[in-house]
Amino acid sequence: MAEFKQLIRLVDADLNGNKQVYHALRKIKGVSYSFANVVCTLANIDKTIKVGTLEEDKLKLLDNIIKNPSKYNIPSWMYNRRKDFDTGEDKHLLSSTLKLAKDFDIRRLKEIKSYKGIRHGLNLPVRGQRTKAHFRKGRAVGVKRTKGKGGGKKGK
């Protein structure tokens, strides 16, 4: 049995060795609950085992499955970027690449002045939520009282 490691580097993320494999994989940006479940199943790893106890070959297998999901026949509906705008192919992006792609998408929406792009530019909700009661941070909210005699109170 391999020695226990406190910190494991996997797909540009530092994982806590004391956590279970299933929960530790979730700390990688771009890996969801269902994707972590599939990765554990394909690698034949018990989800409840601590990450620090895994051997090097199992860690390399996990890394390879997460980075190349199409090679291991993971269905494309589990990917986080289906029908990419530029290439039209299904991809699964991870870590900084995912953040960069999201930022480019928002910038593109702003440039073409779509409804969603305008809402992003105004820091308002994009997906149709109501704004009467919420999304009011950063602006003066409430009744503005005038300074003068009586302090703005009625009846005196």
Burial class (CB in 10 A: 0-12, 13-18, 19+), 43: middle
111 confidence band (pLDDT: 50, 70, 90): very high
Number of residues in the chain: 156
Burial class (CB in 10 A: 0-12, 13-18, 19+), 25: buried
pTM of the complete model beyond 0.85: no
The ranges of the chain annotated as CATH 1.10.8.50 are: 7-78
Average pLDDT score, the chain = 88
**Greatest C-alpha distance within the chain:** 84
In which residue are the tokens 């993320």 written? 13
Segment 72-89 shows an average pLDDT of 89
Q: Is the pLDDT of residue 152 over 60?
A: no
More confident residue, 146 or 63: 63
First to last CA, the chain: 84
What CATH number is given for 7-78 in this structure? 1.10.8.50
Segment 71-81 shows an average pLDDT of 91
Segment 76-93 shows an average pLDDT of 89
